Structure 1
Amino acid sequence: MRIAFMGSPDFAVPALRALHAAGHDIAAVYCQPPRPAGRGQRETPCPVHRAALELGLPVRTPARLKRDAAGHEAFAALDLDAAVVAAYGLILPRAMLDAPRRGCINIHASLLPRWRGAAPIHAAILAGDAQTGITIMRMEEGLDTGPMLLAEALPIPPDATVGALHDALAAQGARLVVRALAEAPPAVPQPAAGVTYAPKLTKADGRLDWTTDAATLERRVRALNPWPGTYFDHGGEQVRVLAARVEPGTGAPGTLLDDAALVATGAGGLRLLRLQRPGRAAQDADAFLRGFALPHGAMLG
C-alpha cells in the first residue's frame, strides 16, 4: 500500500519501522522541523526524522500546514492509499484529510473516547485508571473524534511511570496500525458517553502541591516521569522527585515528619524515594540526604 507517515517523537518511531518492515511503500515521512537542542543549541532532527533517514525514506518538515495551498497540493500529488499519523504535532486541514483514498489513520494512546487530546498517557496515570490502550481511528477535523477502526486495552501496573507505559503503548500501536491497514476493519463511531480530555502539560504542572492527598501526589510523580518531572523548592533549589511511596503521616502539608524524607500532605504522608538536584545525578533518598539536608520539621515549598 502507498502511504505517507506523519509523526515526530519517540512514540511514533516503532510504527514507522513496523510499516516499513511490513513492506508498505512509504512515499514521504512528515515530521516537525529540526529545532535547537543541547548546550550548543544545534539544529537537531526529531526522532522520526532520524529514523526515516536511517531507513532511506524521503522526509518533509513543513513548519505549518494551515493555509498552505502548495503544501496541500504536494501532499495530494503523492497519490496515497492512506496516511498514518502518530503524535505528529500539527493539525491536518480538511484538504489533507481528504486526499488519501482510505483517509488519514491516527494511532491514539488511549481507549477513546476517554482521554482525547495531547497527553492521554499522563492523564490515565494521573486519574488512577486501571487500564488504557490504543485506538486506531480515522481522522476528521474534530479533536480525536473520528470513528474507530481497532482498539485494544493495556493494563496499567500500579507502579507504572509514564515512560514505561509510553514504550508499551508505542509497541502496541505499531502492531495495531499494521493490522488495521492489512484488514481494513469497518469504522465504528465513538460512544457519545465517557468523553474526557487530556490537555497539553507544561513545566508548571510538575510542582507538587502538598495540600493534595498523598495518593494523588504519588500518581503525579509517576505520571510526570520523565517529563515534565515533579519538583519542590527547598534551600534555594528546585529538587526533582523521581519516585515516592504513600505512607501513614499527619501534619501541616509540606512538613517533613522525620529525617528520612517523609512529607505530610493533605491526607497521609509521601515518602520521597529518589531525588535530584539541578545539574546533579539522581540519587536514592538515603544517598541524597547525606549531601542535602531535609531535616525533621522543615517545610518544603
Structure 2
Amino acid sequence: MTDLARPDRPNIADKLSVIFMGSPDFAVPSLKRLAERYDVKAVFTQPPRKSGRGLKLRPTAIGAAAEQLGLPCYWPETLNAADTQDQLAAFKADLFVVVAYGLLLPQAVLDIPVYGCVNGHASLLPRWRGAAPIQRAIEAGDSRTGISTMLMQKGLDTGPVFDTRQTEITEDMTAGELHDILADQTADLLCVTLDKISAGEAQAVAQPEEGVSYAHKISSADSQIHLDQPADTLQRKINAYTPYPGAFVETSFGRLKLIQARPADAAGQPMPPGQFCGLSDEGGLILACGQNTALEVAWLQPAGKKAMTARAWLNGHSLCPGQSLTDPK
C-alpha cells in the first residue's frame, strides 16, 4: 500500500495545484471539472494534427478545451527532452493528472511532482491495461467495467490503485455510449481521489497479479468481421467498434460497415454463413452466421455513403432470400 500522507510530503494548505495531461475528447470532462475545483497551472497535450477537409492543422480536443478555459497549453512532441522536463518542474505543481494523454511519461517526469502523477484509466485494473480498454471490454463480452485512478509507475498501467467505480455494460451498448459514461465518471472519480490527496487521506493499493489483461490498440485488421463467427460474437464486435473505427464486412456489393445489429432467431435448417435469410418484422437484414446462428442488421453504411437502415439499402440492391451477401455474384 502506498500512503501519500508521509512526513516527507508537505501538507497542502491551499488549493491543490495540478498540471493536466490529456488529448482526446474522453479527457475533456476531467479537465473541465478539475479547472473548476483545483488550481490547474498548465495543460499538456499532443501537438495539432492535420485532419478533415483540406488537411488543416487542428488542435486536440483538450487543446481546444484549454483555450476555451483560458488555460496555458503546451504540446511537445515528447516528454523526454530536458527543456520540457525543466518547464514542467518550473510550475512546481503538487501533482500531474493524466487522462488519455497518448505520450509516455519517462521516469524523470514521474519524479517531478511531490505527490506523483495520478492517472484516470477506463477499466477496473488490472483488467484491460493499455490503449483500448473500452472497446476490448465490450468485445470480450464483459458484463461490467469502470474507472480506476492510480499512482503512475513506469510500467503500462501497473501503478497502485487509489479508487475505482463500476458501471454495467448492457447487451446493446456501443463503445461510443460507454465512452461518454466513463468520461464523466473519470472526472468524478479524479475529484474524489484528489480530495483525498489534498486531505492527506489517500492510499493506493498494489494491483493483484491475477486477472491481468491487455487492451491492445485497435488495428485496421480488427475492424473486419467474418460472418462465419457466431452472431453474439459479431454483435459484440460491432458494438465495440461503433462509432470508431467501425466494423465492416466485405460483400459482393462492396464494403459495408455494420452499425447496429443483434442476434436473431435462426430456427430451421442450417444455412451457410453470409446467406440472406430475409427481412425481420422491423425491417432488419437477417444474415446466416456461424454455428447455425443469425444476425439481424438494422443499420449499415456503404463505403463513401451515409448511414442508412438495412431496408433502405436493400431497396437499392438486388438481393433475394437464399442468396449470399458475401460470395461473388
TM-score range, shorter chain: over 0.9
Q: Tell me if structure 2 keeps the 8 A contact 1:256–1:300.
A: no
Aligned residue number for residue 86 of structure 1? 99
5+ residue gaps in structure 2? 1-15
Runs of 4+ in 1 over 6 A off after TM superposition: none
Q: What are the Cα deviations for residues 120-147 of structure 1, in whole angstroms up to 9, with x where unaligned?
A: 0011111111110000000000100000
Q: What are the Cα deviations for residues 133-186 of structure 1, in whole angstroms up to 9, with x where unaligned?
A: 000000000100000011111111221100000000000000110111111220
Aligned residue number for residue 63 of structure 1? 77
Q: Pick one of 285, 309, 312 that aligns with 1:287.
A: 312
Taking CA–CA contacts closer than 8 Å with sequence separation of 6 or more, which of the two structures ends up with the larger relative contact order?
A: 2
Shift of residue 236, structure 1, vs aligned partner: 5.0
Aligned residue number for residue 237 of structure 1? 254
TM-score of the pair, normalised by structure 2: 0.88
Aligned residue number for residue 227 of structure 1? 244
Larger Rg: 2
The root-mean-square deviation of aligned C-alpha atoms, in Å, is 1.3
CA distance in 2, matches of 1:191, 1:199: 20
Q: Tell me if structure 2 keeps the 8 A contact 1:83–1:103.
A: yes
Q: What are the Cα deviations for residues 221-262 of structure 1, in whole angstroms up to 9, with x where unaligned?
A: 111000110111224521111001101333222222236622
CA distance in 2, matches of 1:104, 1:182: 15
CA distance in 1, matches of 2:42, 2:316: 52
Aligned residue number for residue 53 of structure 1? 67
CA distance in 1, matches of 2:318, 2:136: 33
Aligned residue number for residue 274 of structure 2? 254
CA distance in 2, matches of 1:99, 1:189: 21
Question: Structure 1 residue 110 and structure 2 residue 116: aligned?
Answer: no
CA distance in 2, matches of 1:223, 1:135: 20
CA distance in 2, matches of 1:55, 1:205: 37
The one-letter code sitting in structure 2 at the alignment partner of 1:292 is: H
Count of residue correspondences = 299
CA distance in 2, matches of 1:247, 1:202: 28
Shift of residue 10, structure 1, vs aligned partner: 0.6
Q: Tell me if structure 1 keeps the 8 A contact 2:94–2:115.
A: yes
Q: Pick one of 152, 155, 167 that aligns with 2:180.
A: 167
Q: Tell me if structure 2 keeps the 8 A contact 1:205–1:228.
A: no
**Percentage identity across paired residues of the two chains:** 43
CA distance in 1, matches of 2:307, 2:71: 38
Aligned residue number for residue 295 of structure 2? 270
Shift of residue 109, structure 1, vs aligned partner: 0.3
CA distance in 2, matches of 1:194, 1:280: 42
Q: What are the Cα deviations for residues 76-123 of structure 1, in whole angstroms up to 9, with x where unaligned?
A: 111110100000000100010010111000000000001111000011
Aligned residue number for residue 300 of structure 1? 326
Q: Tell me if structure 1 keeps the 8 A contact 2:117–2:152.
A: yes
TM-score of the pair, normalised by structure 1: 0.96
CA distance in 1, matches of 2:290, 2:252: 22
Deviates more, 1:158-167 or 1:201-210: 201-210
